[in-house]
Amino acid sequence: MIIHHPILGPRDAQEFVYLGDASLMDRPDGMTAGIEEFHEYLYQRGNPAGEHRELWYHEQGDRSWLVVTRNTVTHEITKVELARDVARAKGRSK
Amino acid sequence: MTQSHRISGGQVDRTKTVRFTFDGIPYQGHPGDTLASALLANGVRLMGRSFKYHRPRGPISSGSEEPNALVELRTGGRQEPNTRATVVELFEGLDARSQNRWPSLRFDAMGINDRFSTFFAAGFYYKTFMWPKSFWEKIYEPIIRRAAGLGSVTRQEDPDEYDKGFLHCDLLVIGAGPAGLMAALTAGRAGKRVILADEDFRLGGRLNAETHAVGQASGADWAVAAVAELAAMPNVRLMTRTTVMGAFDHGIYGAVERVSDHLPVPAKGKPRQVLWRIYAGKAILAGGATERPIAFENNDRPGVMLAGALRAYANRWGVKAGERVAVFTNNDDGLRTATDLMARGVDVVAVIDSREGGELIPGVRHLRGAEVIDSSGKLGLKTITVRQSNGKTEDIRVDALGVSGGWNPNVNVHSHHRSRPVYDAGIAAFVPGEDGPPGLSVTGAAAGVLSTHGALRTGRDAAMAALGLTGAAPDLPEAEDAPVRVSPLWFVHHGKGRAWIDQQNDVTVKDVKLAHKENFTSVEHLKRYTTLGMATDQGKTGNVLGLAVMAELTGRSIPETGTTIYRPPYTPVAMGTLAGRSRGKEFKPFRLTPSHHWAKEQGAVFVEVGNWLRTQWVPKAGETEWRQSVDREVLATRKSVGICDVTTLGKIDIQGTDAGEFLNRVYANTFSTLAVGKCRYGLMLREDGIVFDDGTTARMGENEYVMTTTTANAVTVFRHLEFCRQVLWPEMDVQLISTTEAWAQFSVAGPNARKLLEKVVDQDISDASFPYMGAANITVCGGLRARLFRISFSGELAYEIAVPTRYGDALLREMLARGAEFDPIVYGTEALGVMRIEKGHVAGGELNGQSTALNMGLGKMVSKKKDSIGMVLSQREGMVQEDGYRLVGVKPVDPKAALTAGSHFLEKGAAAVAANDGGWLTSKVYSPHLGCDIALGYLKGGDKKIGQRMRIVNLLAGLDTEVEIISPHMFDPEGERLRG
Amino acid sequence: MADALKAMTAFGLREPKQVKIGALSIKELTDVALASVAARKGRMADLSRAAAAAGLPLPGPSTHAPGDPYSSFWVAPEMWLVEAPFASHELIADMLRAALGDGASVTEQTDAWVGFDLTADDLTALMQRLCNVDFAMAPDGHATRTVMEHLGVYLIKRGKGAARVYGPRSSAESLLHAVEAAAVALA
């Protein structure tokens, strides 16, 4: 596959490491959330046949974490964003 | 030897002779020949025995679709089974042998299988060898394997090299027939970067096999001119002997270039083959079409061939496949074989045309509405039996029969993303369907456009469209544009004999009927039940035939019946090609430590740790057994001082105003309180609460930290930290960079560690100025920048000292020289392991990805006063059980008894069954201090069992030993030495 | 620096490795000091000012910018790898820290890498065997991370026939072997 890196342009997916569902960025605050909430966060994922937002790490590149929107059936990639930008837009901070 | 069947014409170089052998018999051919064409030229048509029935077989095709003429090439490490004689380029000295026969090809003892064919029908494995079960592995399978099979693999290592590579282009054209050449010309003339790849060694595709004119020239000559024009373009790369074997995602194609297969041995240093990964903006599949046979009884005899192949052998190679030839066809294209052969003076005795009416070919006996119903000839075709339209049967003496059932477009690559081909009744074949790989278009015969003009036109138009070219389209040369006239005929209804569909796997019409009878009617079931299309040729000639027969049996239409899924590779790819250079010692890169060259001089023994080669121990003269070296290294370190290269530990430079808080979050224990100039042991959890990694982290400045990780997790910890930094807490001011390789780091341990270091360190490192857990930037040997950390893995007074890597070797030599009075030794990973186990420090066996801090006896390190990765989920009920696993030390009651890692804890008197399992030993060493084996292990409720006696049981090793459960801190439990 | 301690190359030698295979010349670099420079969060403007004053170029993505004494190339968002002559800049990290102030995180990287300068008439065919970079189409000064025989490296194109490769120092022998094997296959 080819991932169109927002900064570096088209790069072979071989250069990346896959993590999984982009919802992994929605980590609860450990000082306020309990076991149930963390359990939901860590283990409960959708497994869609179709569009899926997922985290990829450009390990053999610029070390950016990306959010890739990929169709799990056709492998078509419709959007690639820097995960840091997505996280900030969601209000994640320090 | 004379080439008895060589006729005039063709594209072989008759001025040169190539000598080769087949089954030890010498023959001659010419450059430009394939093994098959050269053998046929010499009158040899028996080339192999079939898979199951050991039927005599000859080639049916002239290309890569060949199911029958499989031979073994070369000898020794280069021996290569199952090579298609039809694509083997002849070279001087080629040594080819038939396979799957004993004692000889002409007399094959296993030919007896043919007599018992009823036992070998589809599904016979499943039915016949079911009982008794115990017979399968020892009796049935070996017999079947010997009886049924193809070539044999060599047991020797392949001496050749295989390369990999990467290519980029605007347009990849797959296949260099008329469509591919015209597409490449169109794109090349427009200045686009073009790759034109073809599996053949001669470009031109079917133009080389036909007598059609293209423009003013013969098709073959037009191809030569087109290739010359393309070769002169710097933006075009022509790749002959290159099979595009698969379409992968997003315009990536795999291609195998056979660089040296046509040479006796590759030139020195040259690869045998190159596996290319091609990044193509757009691609055009111009892979042509494959002719399919018509199944009739005993249609597998040597001499029965595809009509197009007979024509190709005559036109391209100047070879007649027989003295008396007949053609059996259901379409006009088959008639071309008769006319072409007659034009070359070959005796065509009959054309058997299954269709009624239509034009008759002059000058030949042209039977309309007739079918070939049987054949005879033990080792090759002698007669065919023809049933005429009036029902009369007649035997006709022929030694070659060309069969044409129509042409199947080679849709394979277009279907590699599961696109289903669609049936085109006009040509009675499947053509590419919708939803092919994005960016791939199909042209010419591969698209079902079977005329030469159609190929040229669609090739040009596809290139224009794919690349969005807007200029004037190149003119097309004139070429034939004959319509396809075919009347489907899949198999001849006659008698009870066997009519072959898949010749390589010996699948007959009967087998398809059996599958139908037993309700395996879906094509995917048909395939698995009968093995149709599962041989090395993947059913290129047989699949459509098989499914058409099934369609007829079920009464479904052919489109309803459908095709099986097409998958890469298009033709077989050798494992060695896929491995490339990654084999043997080059399987993966090595990483060498800064002390590697010193250690090598000393005769050190190395161990692979990940990619690293680490010193395992350093034998001294007279030491004959590894334990002697390791015991000495341990004792000498604990007695005076030892040095160990610990460069392999991951080192990550962490800077930024939020670095302290960042460490608080990624470590379970607190780091924000760490003072500048100090280091601390850190425990890193995964979010699920399991221990991920551990190591020490030092605060080198207000906003500067150096983290160490275990050797194994250096890469994954870095990845995790980047995730935390970028994704979880994107506003933190934290910068990361790996410095693992930048610093050569040595552990200096033992009572005399400080005294030795004082010989090289420029600063005061007394206990008062540099206490336990100190960290500092220092200088050594008169000014070289260095780092010093007072940390200990061995339990001794110990330091880790680091200098820029280029000085690492010199620092080690300097420490050994200047500290000679302390008899320093260098110890390896074994002694390191002994000392850490004596101290109860966790490492690989304990950091097993299943264990919590609590399991390790480090539960109190998980701070609940701050948020950190894994903190919350480490408190889950199942992970905080009172009687859960706890790390314990173990020693045998009998000091002479041996322990084995992986052994299990059992109470005395308990049966060795899973229900009684108390846990297991994670690591074991011999402790020269305690004078016995010691071990660490996870024991249920282990913290409450200290002092108790249990058994250690290992049924595999035959071990059942009484042990004492002790504290994991087995040596200097109060830690007095490290603070000394 | 410290006369008592003699530096060793990544190959355990005193002199840089030099290999010629056909038209290709491979020369190990031992005279380049390296440091990483990363902007502290929200401090890019400060870093840019300080870098400009220090004569340190901070080029955009996929780019190498030459300079004297400092050259540099982009490695990650707001992060660069800086090159300078080793003889004058062995203490490159200290020098950059002093020049750039607290708007940057600076880390010595000199010995984290082994560098090779590759020269030939045209390196395209060699690069096709080594990595997935479209070397022919890349502009001069193109700098990218890529993979050569399982090793993560930085590749800097300096012309059709000139390139610099930085790979992990501990794998210097494996990296050189990979380049040599590809070169022999093409020679």
Q: Is there a contact between A25 and B866 if contact means CB atoms under 8 Å apart?
A: no
**Pick from B271, B743, B779: CB nearest C185:** B271
What is the C-alpha to C-alpha distance for residues B599 and B974, in angstroms, rounded to an integer? 34
The domain B489-564: what is its CATH number?
1.10.10.1100
Measured in angstroms, the CA of B108 and the nearest CA of chain C are apart by: 43
Provide the CA B190 distance to its chain's centre, in angstroms. 37
Closest CA to A59 of B661, B745, B726: B726
- Report the range of poorest mean pLDDT among B111-120, B398-407, B731-740, B950-959: B111-120
Q: How far is CA B285 from the centre of its chain?
A: 24
| B976 pLDDT above the threshold of 90 | no
CATH code for the part of the protein at B295-405: 3.50.50.60
Tell me: pLDDT of B453 over 80: yes
Residue A67 belongs to a domain: yes
C-alpha span between B312 and B331 (Å, rounded):
17
Q: Each residue of B553-605: pLDDT tens digit?
A: 999 999 999 999 999 999 999 999 999 999 988 899 999 999 999 999 999 99
Rounded CA-CA distance B820/C16 in Å is 31
Chain B residues close to C137, C-beta within 8 Å: 168
pLDDT of residue C185: 95
- Give the tens place of pLDDT for each residue, C74-133: 999 999 999 999 999 999 999 999 999 999 999 999 999 999 999 999 999 999 999 999
User: CB within 8 A of B705, min separation 6: which ones?
Assistant: B653, B654, B655, B659, B660, B663, B671, B697, B698, B699
| Residue linked to tokens 């003269």 | B621
DSSP string, B364-399: S-EEET-EEEEEE-SSS--EEEEE-TTS-EEEEE-S
- Interchain CB distance below 8 Å, A62 and C147: no
Residue pair B293/B403 in contact (Cβ under 8 Å)? The answer is: yes
Q: What distance in Å separates residue C11's CA from the closest CA in chain A?
A: 24
Q: Which chain A residue lies closest to C147 (C-alpha atoms)? A: A60
The answer, for C146 touching chain B at a CB cutoff of 8 Å, is no
Min CA distance, C49 vs chain A (Å)?
23
Q: Distance between CA B706 and CA B789 in Å, rounded?
A: 11
Q: Which residues of A touch C152 (CB under 8 A)?
A: 59-60
Q: Cα–Cα distances in Å, from B290 out to B77, B206, B208, B446, B538?
A: 33, 11, 15, 9, 13
Tell me how far apart the alpha carbons of residues B31 and B38 are, in angstroms, rounded to a whole number.
10
Residue A68 lies in a domain: yes
A73 part of a folded domain: yes
Q: What is the CATH number of domain B881-980?
A: 2.40.30.110
B52-76 confidence digits (pLDDT tens)? 889 999 999 999 999 999 999 999 9
> Which residues, 6 or more positions from B788, have their beta carbon under 8 angstroms from its beta carbon?
B757, B761, B765, B770, B774, B775, B776, B778, B799, B800, B801, B802
CA–CA separation, B530 and B506 (whole Å): 9
Confidence of residue B101 (pLDDT cuts 50, 70, 90): confident
Q: Which CATH superfamily is domain B161-289+409-467 in?
A: FAD/NAD(P)-binding domain (3.50.50.60)
Q: Read off the pTM.
A: 0.95
**Could you give the CA distance from residue B614 to residue B630 in angstroms, rounded to a whole number?**
14
Structure tokens belonging to residue A68:
């890739």
The CATH number for A44's domain is 3.30.2270.10
Rounded Cα–Cα distance for residues B529 and B176 (Å): 37
User: pLDDT-derived band of residue B151, with 50, 70 and 90 as boundaries?
Assistant: confident
- Mean pLDDT across B173-201: 98
Q: How many CA atoms lie within 13 A of B661 on its CB side?
A: 10
Smallest CA–CA separation between A94 and chain C, in Å?
Answer: 12
Name all chains with 3 or more CB-CB pairs below 8 Å to chain A: B, C
Residue C182: its chain B contacts at CB < 8 A? Answer: 163
Phi-psi category of residue B845: left, alpha or beta, with phi > 0 → left and psi -120 to 50 → alpha: alpha
Of B590, B612, B737, the CB nearest to C107: B737
How many C-beta atoms lie closer than 10 Å to residue B115's C-beta? 9
Q: Is C145 on the interface with A (CB under 8 A)?
A: yes
**Chain C contact partners (≥3 CB pairs within 8 A):** A, B
pLDDT bucket at B978, cuts 50 / 70 / 90: confident
How many residues are there in chain B? 980
Answer yes or no: do B731 and A30 touch at CB < 8 A.
no
Tell me which chain A residues have a C-beta less than 8 angstroms from the C-beta of C62.
8-9
CA A82 – CA A72 distance, rounded (Å): 20
**Token output for B813:** 């030599």
Q: Which amino acid is at C168?
A: P
Which residue from A61, A60, A74 is spatially nearest to A6, judged by alpha carbons?
A: A61
| The one-letter amino acid at B184 | A
Rg, chain A, Cα only:
14
What is the CATH code of the structural domain delimited by B650-738? 3.30.70.1400
Is A52 within the bounds of a domain? yes
- Do C2 and B780 make contact, defined as CB atoms within 8 angstroms? yes
pLDDT 10s digits, B675-728:
999 999 999 999 999 999 999 999 999 999 999 999 999 999 999 999 999 999
Residue of chain A nearest B728, judged by CA positions? A25
Question: Which whole-number Å values give the CA distances from B644 to B750, B918, C116, in the listed order?
Answer: 11, 36, 30
Which chain A residue has its CA at the smallest distance from B435's CA?
A74
8 Å CB contact between B33 and B13 = no
List Cβ neighbours of B622 (8 Å cut-off, separation of 6 or more). none
pLDDT at B165 over 70: yes
**Domain for residue A94, yes or no?**
no
Assess contact for B420 and B428: CB atoms under 8 A: no
Quick check: do C18-30+112-186 and C32-111 share a fold? no
Interchain contact, B438 vs A27, CB within 8 Å: no
CB interface of C with B, residues 152-181, below 8 Å: 168-175, 177-178, 181
Of A12, A31, A65, the CB nearest to B727: A65
If you measure CA to CA, which chain C residue comes closest to A12?
C132
Domain span(s) for CATH 3.10.20.440 in chain B:
1-154
ipTM: 0.99
Please give the Cα distance from C170 to C102 (Å, whole number).
31
SS3 B905: strand
In angstroms, the CA C39 to CA C137 distance is 31
Residue type, B748: V
Distance from the C68 Cα atom to the nearest Cα atom in chain B, whole angstroms: 24
Mutate to test the interface with C, among B166, B276, B661 (most CBs of C within 10 A): B166
What is the fold of B597-647+743-835? Answer: Gyrase A; domain 2 (3.30.1360)
Going by C-alpha positions, the residue among A65, B662, A10 that lies closest to residue C76 is: A65
Pick from A24, A45, A43, A18: nearest CA to B873: A43
Establish if B672 touches chain A: CB-CB under 8 angstroms: no
Whether B726 sits inside 8 A of A29 (CB atoms) is no
Residue spans in chain B of domains classed CATH 2.40.30.110: 881-980
The verdict on C132 touching A (C-beta cutoff 8 Å) is yes
Q: Tell whether the model's pLDDT for residue C2 goes beyond 60.
A: no
Cβ-Cβ contacts under 8 Å, C74 against chain A: 62
Assign A45 to helix, strand or coil.
coil
Per CB-CB distance under 8 Å, the chain B contacts of C8 are 594, 597, 806-810
Predicted pLDDT of residue B108: 82
What pairing do the DSSP bridges indicate for beta strands B347-353 and B366-368? parallel
Residue A8 lies in a domain: yes
How far away is chain C from the Cα of B2, in angstroms, using its nearest Cα?
Answer: 39
Q: pLDDT band for B148, please (50, 70, 90 cuts).
A: low
DSSP calls for B679-731: EEEEEEE-TTSSEEEEEEEEEEETTEEEEEE-TTTHHHHHHHHHHIIIIISTT
Pairing of strands B194-197, B80-84: unpaired
Q: In chain C, what are the domain boundaries?
A: 18-30+112-186, 32-111
> Which residues of A make CB contacts under 8 Å with C?
7-9, 12, 14-15, 59-64, 82
B293 upstream amide cis, omega within 30 of 0: no
Contacts of A83 in chain B (CB under 8 A): 726-727
pLDDT band for B143, please (50, 70, 90 cuts). low
CB-based burial of residue B126 (10 Å sphere; 0-12 exposed, 13-18 middle, 19+ buried)?
exposed
DSSP annotation string for B605-667: EEEEETTEEEEEE---TT--SHHHHHHHHHHHHHHT-EEEE-TTSEEEEEESTTHHHHHHHHS
- C129 and chain B in contact, CB less than 8 A: yes
Among residues 11-70 of chain A, which lie with CB inside 8 Å of chain B? 12-13, 17, 19, 24-25, 27-31, 33-35, 38-39, 42, 55, 57, 59, 63-65
Tokens of B868: 């950190």
- Between chains, do B803 and C5 touch, taking CB under 8 Å as contact? yes
Distances (CA, A) of B919 to B342, B922, B966, C152: 84, 9, 15, 41
Tell me whether residues A1 and B249 touch, CB distance under 8 A.
Answer: yes
> Does residue A42 form part of some domain?
yes
For B727, which of A25, A28, A38 is closest by C-beta distance?
Answer: A25
| Whether the bond into C77 is cis, omega within 30 of 0 | no
CA distance C76 to chain A (A): 4
What tokens were used for A47? 């497994």
Q: What is the pLDDT of residues B732-746, one digit of tens each?
A: 999 999 999 999 999
- Closest-CA residue in chain C for A62? C76
Q: If you average pLDDT over residues B87-99, what whole number do you get?
A: 96
Helix (H) or strand (E) holding B458: helix B452-467
Please report how the helices B626-639 and B829-838 are oriented relative to each other, as an axis angle in degrees rounded to 10.
60
Strands ordered across the beta sheet of B605-609: B591-592, B612-617, B605-609
* CATH ID of C32-111, from 3.40.50.1100, 3.40.50.720, 3.30.70.1520, 3.90.1150.10: 3.30.70.1520
Q: Nearest Cβ partner of C77 from A7, A59, A60?
A: A7
Query: Quick one: pLDDT at residue B2?
Result: 81
Contact assignment for A2 to B250 by CB distance below 8 Å: yes
Q: Please tell me the predicted confidence (pLDDT) of residue B940.
A: 97
Summary mean pLDDT of chain C: 97
Quote the domain boundaries for residue A63. Answer: 2-89
From the candidate CATH numbers 3.10.20.440, 2.60.40.3470, 3.90.1150.10, 3.40.50.300, the one assigned to the domain spanning B1-154: 3.10.20.440
Give SS3 for C35: strand
Domain C18-30+112-186 has CATH 3.30.1360.120: yes
DSSP-derived secondary structure letter, B296? -
Q: Report chain B's C-alpha Rg in angstroms.
A: 37
Per-residue confidence at B110, pLDDT binned at 50, 70, 90?
Answer: confident
Tally of structural domains, chain A: 1
pLDDT at C73 over 70: yes
CB < 8 Å to A33, chain B: 872
d(CA B28, CA B849): 65
Give me the residue from A17, A19, A38 closest to B873, CB to CB. Answer: A38
Here the tokens at position B441 are 């278009």
Contacts of B460 (CB under 8 A, 6+ apart): B182, B183, B185, B186, B473, B474, B476
B686 touches chain A (CB under 8 A): no
Among C residues 70-99, those touching chain A with beta carbons less than 8 Å apart: 74-77
Percent composition of chain B: helix, strand, coil (DSSP 3-state, to 5):
25, 30, 45
- CATH 3.50.50.60 range(s) for chain B read 161-289+409-467, 295-405
End-to-end CA distance of chain C: 41
How far lies C177's CA from each of B610, C24, C37, C132, in Å?
A: 19, 14, 31, 18
Inter-chain CB proximity C146 and A15 less than 8 Å: yes
CB contact at 8 A, B59 and B41: no
pLDDT for the residue B116? 74
> What's the mean pLDDT when you consider all of chain B?
95
Please list the residue range(s) of chain B that carry CATH number 3.30.1360.120: 597-647+743-835
